[in-house]
């Protein structure tokens, strides 16, 4: 059973608008959350992360929001650019240390940003 | 700066054949991982090595073996390939600073006929 869920397989947004990608999780032991971006024929690349002690983390055009009570996080991209078109994976971990790499991934959301 | 390097990038096998996927990182990272990605399934952890000399099972270890040859290299072996192992395999590593950022290789696409 998937512990990290991305229920929207695809999202299409016009350039300049906001993209909002959503992610839900079921495991209450998760305390670290990450977003990865993946282009075709490449490996995933880290985008942004958030610890469970925070509810928001911002890095340039990317902001991640965490709602622990709802077990929900979202990634906001403002403004969206055509180069943002990629698959976005939500991932979660039970903590740092040697288990950090034991990430549980969602199935991904294909974001398409059109001009 | 190579980062994480995987070989081969593509491979076609027949059912029952064996092969080894190689992974090397030049970032002096302690921990290394093997994931597989299947269509619509996201990435799933096969095996990981928290440090040189240790290996542990992930979510989907059946049918695979691993070797942490040294700090740089972590190989994944399929002893008797099955069509269900057709997938894209990603190796990744993370350093001791625990920033949360896994560095992934470009992937190895394996097809088992």
How far apart are the C-alpha atoms of B42 and B107, rounded to whole Å? Answer: 14
Q: Long-range contacts of range A46-51, CB-CB < 8 Å, 24 or more positions apart?
A: A46/B100, A46/B101, A46/B102, A46/B103, A47/A75, A47/A88, A48/A75, A49/B100, A49/B101
How far apart are the C-alpha atoms of A38 and B69, rounded to whole Å? Answer: 28
Number of H helices, E strands in chain B: 0, 11
- Region A22-33 average pLDDT: 93
The residue among B59, B60, B102, B109 with the most chain A CBs within 10 A of its CB, best to mutate, is B102
- Region A51-80 average pLDDT: 96
The residue among B43, B87, B96 with the most chain A CBs within 10 A of its CB, best to mutate, is B43
Give the pLDDT confidence score for residue B73 in this predicted structure.
Answer: 97
Q: Is the pLDDT of residue A40 over 50?
A: yes
Give the pLDDT confidence score for residue A35 in this predicted structure.
Answer: 96
Least confident span in A28-32, A96-100, B16-20:
A96-100
Is the Cβ pair B40, A49 closer than 8 Å?
Answer: no
For residue A89, what pLDDT band results from cuts at 50, 70 and 90?
A: very high
How far apart are the C-alpha atoms of B110 and B113, rounded to whole Å? Answer: 10
Is residue A34 within 8 angstroms of chain B, CB to CB?
yes
Flag residues of chain B having pLDDT under 70: 1, 96-100
Is the Cβ pair B106, A43 closer than 8 Å?
Answer: yes
Minimum CA–CA partner of B94 in chain A: A101
b/e per residue, A42-61, with b = 16+ CB within 10 A?
A: ebbebbbbbebeeeeeeeee
Q: Is the pLDDT of residue A98 over 90?
A: no
- Cα A114 to Cα A20, A29, A47, A108: the distances in Å are 15, 38, 21, 19
**Which residues in B lie closer than 8 A to residue A44 (C-beta atoms)?**
43, 90, 102, 104
- Region A97-112 average pLDDT: 81
3-state secondary structure of B52: coil
Residues with Cβ within 8 Å of residue A53, at least 6 apart in sequence: none
Q: Is the pLDDT of residue A97 over 60?
A: no
Give the pLDDT confidence score for residue B6 in this predicted structure.
Answer: 97
For residue A102, what pLDDT band results from cuts at 50, 70 and 90?
A: confident
Q: What is the pLDDT of residues A69-80, one digit of tens each?
A: 999 999 999 999
How far apart are the C-alpha atoms of A23 and A11, rounded to whole Å? Answer: 13
- Region A50-79 average pLDDT: 96
């Amino acid at each position: 059973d998937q512990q990290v869920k991305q229920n929207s397989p695809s999202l299409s947004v016009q350039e300049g608008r906001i993209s909002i990608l959503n992610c839900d999780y079921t495991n209450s032991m998760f305390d670290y959350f990450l977003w990865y971006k993946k282009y075709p024929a490449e490996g995933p690349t880290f985008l942004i992360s958030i610890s469970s002690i925070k509810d928001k983390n911002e890095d340039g055009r990317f902001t991640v929001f965490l709602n622990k009570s709802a077990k929900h996080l979202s990634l906001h991209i403002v403004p969206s650019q055509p180069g943002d078109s990629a698959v976005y994976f939500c991932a979660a971990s039970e903590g740092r240390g040697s288990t950090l790499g034991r990430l549980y991934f969602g199935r991904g959301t294909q974001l398409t940003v059109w001009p | 700066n190579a980062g994480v390097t995987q070989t081969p990038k593509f491979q076609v096998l027949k059912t029952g054949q064996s092969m080894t996927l190689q992974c090397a990182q030049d970032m002096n990272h302690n921990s290394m991982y093997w994931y597989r990605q299947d269509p619509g399934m996201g990435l799933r952890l096969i095996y990981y090595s928290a440090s040189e000399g240790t290996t542990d099972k992930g979510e989907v270890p059946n049918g695979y073996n691993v070797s942490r040859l040294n700090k740089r290299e972590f190989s994944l072996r399929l002893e008797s390939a099955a069509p269900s192992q057709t997938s894209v395999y990603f190796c990744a590593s993370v350093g001791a600073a625990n920033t949360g950022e896994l560095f992934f290789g470009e992937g190895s696409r394996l097809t088992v006929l």
